[in-house]
Amino acid sequence: MILTKDEESMAEGKSGPGIERCMKLLIKYGEALGGERLVNVTSAHVFNGYPLDLLTELAEGADGSGAFTTLHPFMSLSDPSACEAMGISEKHYSPKNEEHEQKRQVYKRLGFFETYTCTPHLVGNLPKKGDFVSWFGSGVQLVANSIIGAKQNRDGAVVNMAIALTGKAPLQGLYLDENRYAEVLVEVGDVDLAQLSTTDYGAIGYYVGGRAQDKNTVIDGLSRSMTLDQIKYLLTPMSTSGAVSICHIVGVTPEAPELKAALGNKAPKEKIHVGKREISSTIETFSHAKSEVDLVLFGCPHCSIQELKEIAIGLQNKKVGMNQRLWIGTAHQTYDLAQTMGYSQIIEKAGGTVARTCMATLPDCPIPEDVKVIVTNSFKTAHYVSAISRGRIEPIIGHLEACVQAAVTGRWEGEC
Amino acid sequence: MELKGRTINGGDVEGEAVVLREPFSFTGDFDFNAGTLIIRDHPLFGQKIAGKILIIPIGKGAVNAPIGLYKAQKRGNAPAAIICRKADPLTVECALTVDIPIMDSFDRDPIETIKTGDRVKIKGDEGVIAIED
């Protein structure tokens, strides 16, 4: 690999043993993948679940980060302000928070921004089209590649940290334009685009992920009037049922003003049709005619301020049922804004809990034993709750308003 | 018998081979507290890979796999080396994180040539693995 003088000196240990180790790792990693040189990375978003000793080793001697770096949420429920309401014991969260305090000292030294969210682009970490980035979180990687047009590989957690610390990454994979074109074409047809709900978008993403697997994908036939929240629910499940890293949306993705640009002027290797039948059969994977509801869950990925507003509107002058729980995950910055706007007060007064933590690893914490049925608007949540609880908990998918309604009445009426 | 391949991370080690025919994940298929394979309904379920030569067609799995392997190494439970038919980025990252030899792209298929239990000598710096008769 060809290195600049600066990169050579970093690899020789002139910036400390941590940077030396990170550089050597990135160079060998890049060589294995055919990278001919390193590039400068402008934005990083890093995992927050490193063992303290590994974090300390990688950052040894470093007094700053190499790129603008934000942090992913706690990988266990450890927002003490919410734990009591969620019935999570201090014995469970206290040791995790103690270790986290020690890691915070390292983050502070490095200048990592303590965002603790899976949606860094919503709290100020917003790269430009064409920027090289390394973001942790499979859902938001899709956002970086497909909506922002920044260049992102599916880096593992250690490469991700090495890139953040050094600000360098090997030029390979999806960093190269020729590797970003789509092979799989998804054609959306026989649906009324104006009638598509957020749940429908989630179903399209979940269906496509299961078929496209890890292949570059393009979706044609969707409306440009989709909101960012709808796009979030469309993209996220593609990395749950599959491992798609880039999904061009014709007319939305900066690199895909039209279909042929997304395909690199070639014919697609594979075509997938998505219509009414595919959408409804995918929703049926997690649907239920009528049921009692124990827990309503929002926030994987983290709720946006618009979603918190919609939830608050649905709960105005209402109460969450006596035997129901309503848990909502969001970034602490978004929570602050929701407080300024009065949304969190409405939600909390109604008996809901807004936790500034990660909802994806919720089954990692003791979900109360009496929870048998969960209602959610997120296919990612439904998928993981079902898989990690090994069938103990049944997830139901529904539209945000219907989920809020279920929290109030305690009943799922079978309308998604 | 010797196989020639590409060295991604060098080093000389030897040990007993554990050969898998399926894509392998350090997150789902491996218990880092015990150093054993935990692939459900697999004939090698419970097989120890700590200190052994892990031979796999390719890796798969979640992006926190290198952390699982790091924890395993701290407990003395990491394999001594990883041999792949074709190394994927995540498996390369795993091996580099704990600094064990990793090789791929051999002149003969290691999965078909090496059997679980064979003694294998890795000469990473020469790009060679030797199987003892």
B46-64 per-position pLDDT tens digit = 999 999 999 999 998 888 8
Residues A9 and A136 in one domain: yes
**Two tokens, residue B23:** 């894509």
CA-CA distance, A147 to A152, in Å (whole number)?
A: 12
Task: Give yes or no for B94 touching A (CB within 8 A).
Answer: yes
Buried b (16+ CB within 10 A) or exposed e, A307-320: bbbbbbebbeebeb
Chain A nearest CA to B88, separation (Å): 8
Residue pairs spanning A and B at CB distance below 8 A: 62
Chain A nearest CA to B117, separation (Å): 28
A154 close to A243: Cβ distance less than 8 angstroms? yes
Residues forming beta bridges with residue B7, ordered by sequence position: B103
Residues forming beta bridges with residue A326, ordered by sequence position: A296
pLDDT of residue A359: 76
**Token pair 């798609």: residue:** A244
pLDDT of residue A77: 55
Task: Give yes or no for B96 touching A (CB within 8 A).
Answer: yes
Task: Give yes or no for A156 touching B (CB within 8 A).
Answer: yes
Q: Nearest to residue A354, comparing CAs of A333, A375, A380?
A: A333
Q: Nearest to residue A403, comparing CAs of A282, A280, A302, A321?
A: A321
Residues forming beta bridges with residue A188, ordered by sequence position: A274
Q: Which is it for strands B30-31 and B36-37: parallel, antiparallel or unpaired?
A: antiparallel
Residues A399 and A325 in one domain: yes
pLDDT of residue A362: 58
Q: Which is it for strands A38-40 and A168-170: parallel, antiparallel or unpaired?
A: antiparallel
CA-CA distance, B12 to B14, in Å (whole number)?
A: 7
Contact B65 A156 (CB under 8 A): yes
**Two tokens, residue A364:** 């990692």
Q: How many domains does chain A have?
A: 3
Residues A280 and A292 in one domain: no
Residues A243 and A383 in one domain: no
- Residue that is last in its domain, among A177, A200, A220: A177
CA-CA distance, A404 to A200, in Å (whole number)?
A: 18
What DSSP designation does A145 have?
I
Contact B70 A158 (CB under 8 A): yes
Residue A60: phi and psi, rounded to 5, are -60, 125
Residues A29 and A171 in one domain: yes
A12 close to A20: Cβ distance less than 8 angstroms? yes
Residues A290 and A374 in one domain: yes
A141 close to A245: Cβ distance less than 8 angstroms? yes
List, as ranges, residues 166-195 from A with C-beta within 8 Å of B. Answer: 173
A188 close to A214: Cβ distance less than 8 angstroms? no
Chain B nearest CA to A267, separation (Å): 27
Residues A117 and A189 in one domain: no
A43 close to A65: Cβ distance less than 8 angstroms? no
Closest Cβ opposite residue A50 in set B65, B67, B93: B67
Contacts B96 to A, Cβ<8 Å: 25, 28-29, 158
Output the pTM of the full model.
0.95
- Domain B2-131 bears CATH identifier 3.40.50.150: no
pLDDT of residue A163: 98
Task: Give yes or no for B69 touching A (CB within 8 A).
Answer: no
Contact B63 A156 (CB under 8 A): yes
Contacts B74 to A, Cβ<8 Å: 51, 53
List, as ranges, residues 41-70 from A with C-beta within 8 Å of B. Answer: 47, 49-51, 53-54
Three-state DSSP at A351 gives coil
Residues A249 and A331 in one domain: no
Residues A186 and A86 in one domain: no
* DSSP-assigned states of every residue in A289-324: SSEE-SEEEEEEEEEPHHHHHHHHHHHTT----TT-
Residues A278 and A342 in one domain: no
**How many other CB atoms are found less than 10 A from the CB of residue A383?**
19
Mutate which of A22, A28, A75 to disrupt the B interface (most B C-beta within 10 Å)?
A28
Q: Which is it for strands B53-56 and B12-19: parallel, antiparallel or unpaired?
A: parallel
CATH number at residue A407: 3.30.499.10
Residues A243 and A332 in one domain: no
Contact B67 A51 (CB under 8 A): yes
CA-CA distance, B66 to A287, in Å (whole number)?
A: 36
Task: Give yes or no for A85 touching B (CB within 8 A).
Answer: no
Q: Nearest to residue B19, comparing CAs of B2, B42, B3?
A: B42
**How many other CB atoms are found less than 10 A from the CB of residue A266?**
10
A157 close to A136: Cβ distance less than 8 angstroms? yes
- Residue that is last in its domain, among A265, A284, A303: A284
CA-CA distance, A284 to A379, in Å (whole number)?
A: 12
pLDDT of residue A416: 60
- Residue that is last in its domain, among A251, A269, A284: A284
Task: Give yes or no for A304 touching B (CB within 8 A).
Answer: no
In chain B, what percentage of residues exceed pLDDT 90? 92
**Two tokens, residue A145:** 């590649």
Contact A28 B96 (CB under 8 A): yes
A45 close to A120: Cβ distance less than 8 angstroms? yes
pLDDT at B133 over 80: no
Is the bond preceding residue A395 a cis peptide, omega within 30 degrees?
A: no
Per-residue pLDDT of chain A (416 residues; tens, 9 = 90+): 999 999 999 999 999 999 999 999 999 999 999 999 999 999 999 998 899 999 999 999 999 999 999 999 875 556 777 877 887 777 877 777 788 889 999 999 999 999 999 999 999 999 999 999 999 999 999 999 999 999 999 999 999 999 999 999 999 999 999 999 999 999 999 999 999 999 999 999 999 999 999 999 999 999 999 999 999 999 999 999 999 999 999 999 999 999 999 999 999 999 999 999 999 999 999 988 889 999 999 999 999 999 999 999 999 999 999 999 999 999 999 999 999 999 999 999 999 999 888 876 555 566 778 889 999 999 999 998 888 777 888 999 999 999 999 999 999 987 66
Mutate which of B93, B100, B104, B105 to disrupt the A interface (most A C-beta within 10 Å)?
B93
Buried b (16+ CB within 10 A) or exposed e, A354-364: bbbbbbbbbbe
Q: Which domain holds residue A246?
A: 181-284
CA B88 → CA B36, B68, B92, B94, B105, distances in Å?
A: 22, 17, 6, 10, 11
Task: Give yes or no for B43 touching A (CB within 8 A).
Answer: no
Residues A249 and A267 in one domain: yes
Contact B74 A31 (CB under 8 A): no
